Amino acid sequence: MTFSGWGRYPRLESRLIEPISTFEIEKSLGGSGQWGPSIIARGAGRSYGDSALAETLVSTRYLDNFSSLTTSDHGHTVLRCASGMSLEKVLETIIPKGLFLPVLPGAKAVTVGGAIAADVHGKNHHIDGSFCDHVESMQVLLATGEIINCNRNAYSELFHATCGGMGLTGIILDAAIKLVPMPSLDIAQRTLVADNLQDCMELMDEHHESKYSVAWIDCLASGAAQGRSVLYLGEHVDEKDAREKSKSGRKGLRAIKRSELKIPFDAPSFLLNKYTMMGFNSAYYALQKNRIAPKRIDYDAFFFPLERLRNWNRLYGSKGFLQYQLAVPPESAYACVSAVLSCASQAGKGSFLSVLKKFGKANNNLLSFPIEGYTLALDFKYEDSLFPLLDKLDAIVLAHGGRLYLAKDARMSKACFRQSYAQWERFAELKQKLDPRGQFSSLQSRRLGLG
């Protein structure tokens, strides 16, 4: 069968294995290596590039059970579940209990295992950090067939390598995640408009205390309007009082299920050109500019606006697209983002959805993406002329001390990776120790020299 990441580039003919239990995986991996070399775990397939592509894919679709939900003496509630469970399924079960996930990426189909492997972040990174910062412990199946329960104290090296480690240390089997209380289903959203990039970054700094914050940015506006953007801020609405009055208790808390639209065919690629993109971006900006009144929207609409179009990746045509997401330290952020936007718009390439967001402090996982500063994400439809442009962008990012997100990457060079991920050597050493035969490897890991 042919597989690809969410960006639908690149594609690879692979063998898919769907183990029905941890035991079955353990049996197959232990010693005999009957799955052959080059295995990588695959969850929902929502990483964009080639992180979850290999000759043999081990699907976690049947590792989809909850194990426990416990509240400690300190009042922390911890959920333990298998790695193939999607965040959407987690929300369906925990929301009625008045609980919520501390970090949510923009895609709810993502699995717990995938969220850990990519150490995903959400709109609240500047306050709450990334997904793995809320993972207490996890079980990892190593290449030897051994199952190790690791956390920040026991097997901490394995823990910090697996968080953000793109599945290269082994197969994540389950995890214990700290949950947070959910006061209501709604988010109070404020919308601010920024005329240019400088404005936008200043607004983000000014509203640093807002729980959720993310900006949509018009990536094709140039000159004085470069970086004009719409900043969305959000806070959970605390409805405790209202709830007590209505006596409905937590009955009102139910996960939201929307009907999703499915795009039945690939958008014809010629529809996506410089002019349609510019038109879309200008129209979106003009529209949002007049919709700045604060409003209450439900969490699903706030966190997962794109998921209403279930396979929105088809919008970029049959050849797919690449997402380019960079993170850059605060002192060089403006210069870097500005240079990247100029370079892309000069090349006449851009996307519907370009996102700018402020990152909080980095954690100490070896390959986690977020570093303190800003992150910018751009989508580009696949075309041969794109690659030279992306190489140019790489040079800009590296010159400003930035790095690229492995979960989105499909083409970064080994040199670029090594220069920007300072701890790559420690990771490679540990990987060599854990998996000397290099059983766990993906197209990406081979490209980046990680075995």
| Interaction of residue 65 with other proteins, rule CB under 8 A | yes
Provide, rounded to whole angstroms, the least separation between the CB of residue 179 and other proteins.
12
Provide, rounded to whole angstroms, the least separation between the CB of residue 405 and other proteins.
31
Provide, rounded to whole angstroms, the least separation between the CB of residue 68 and other proteins.
6
Q: Which is nearer to other proteins, 67 or 413 (CB)?
A: 67
Residue 293 Cα distances to 189, 195, 206, angstroms: 9, 17, 19
Provide, rounded to whole angstroms, the least separation between the CB of residue 61 and other proteins.
9
- Which residue's structure tokens are 């639209």? 261
- Length of the chain equals 451
Query: Which range in 60-68, 175-183, 338-346, 417-425 contacts other proteins by CB under 8 A?
Result: 60-68
Q: Which is nearer to other proteins, 62 or 155 (CB)?
A: 62
Interface positions, 66-125, toward other proteins (CB under 8 A): 66-69, 79, 81, 92-93, 96
CA distance linking residue 266 with residue 268, whole number of Å: 6
Provide, rounded to whole angstroms, the least separation between the CB of residue 417 and other proteins.
36
For residue 140, the cross-strand partners are: 148, 172
Q: Which is nearer to other proteins, 86 or 354 (CB)?
A: 86
Interface positions, 17-46, toward other proteins (CB under 8 A): 18, 20-21, 23
Residue 275 Cα distances to 44, 322, 389, angstroms: 34, 19, 18
Query: Which range in 62-70, 196-204, 337-345, 427-435 contacts other proteins by CB under 8 A?
Result: 62-70
CB-CB contact of 115 with 105 (8 Å)? yes
Bridge-based pairing of strands 56-59 and 39-42 is parallel
Q: Which is nearer to other proteins, 19 or 234 (CB)?
A: 19
Residues contacting other proteins: total by CB under 8 A: 15
Q: Which is nearer to other proteins, 69 or 267 (CB)?
A: 69
Name the residue among 63, 95, 59 with its Cα closest to residue 80.
63
CB-CB contact of 109 with 45 (8 Å)? no
Provide, rounded to whole angstroms, the least separation between the CB of residue 112 and other proteins.
14
Provide, rounded to whole angstroms, the least separation between the CB of residue 92 and other proteins.
8
Provide, rounded to whole angstroms, the least separation between the CB of residue 79 and other proteins.
7
Query: Which range in 65-73, 134-142, 266-274, 340-348 contacts other proteins by CB under 8 A?
Result: 65-73
Q: Which is nearer to other proteins, 18 or 206 (CB)?
A: 18
Letters for 241-280 (x = contact with other proteins by CB under 8 A, - = none) are ----------------------------------------
Provide, rounded to whole angstroms, the least separation between the CB of residue 381 and other proteins.
28
Taking residue 442's Cβ as centre, other Cβ atoms within 10 Å add up to 28
Query: Which range in 14-22, 111-119, 338-346, 351-359 contacts other proteins by CB under 8 A?
Result: 14-22
Q: Which is nearer to other proteins, 16 or 271 (CB)?
A: 16
Provide, rounded to whole angstroms, the least separation between the CB of residue 62 and other proteins.
7
Name the burial class of residue 73, with classes exposed (0-12), middle (13-18) and buried (19+) by CB atoms within 10 angstroms of its CB: exposed
- Non-local (6+) Cβ contacts of 65 within 8 A are 81, 82, 85
Query: Which range in 13-21, 25-33, 50-58, 123-131 contacts other proteins by CB under 8 A?
Result: 13-21
Q: Which is nearer to other proteins, 92 or 307 (CB)?
A: 92
Please report, as ranges, the residues that interact with other proteins according to CB under 8 A. 18, 20-21, 23, 62, 65-69, 79, 81, 92-93, 96
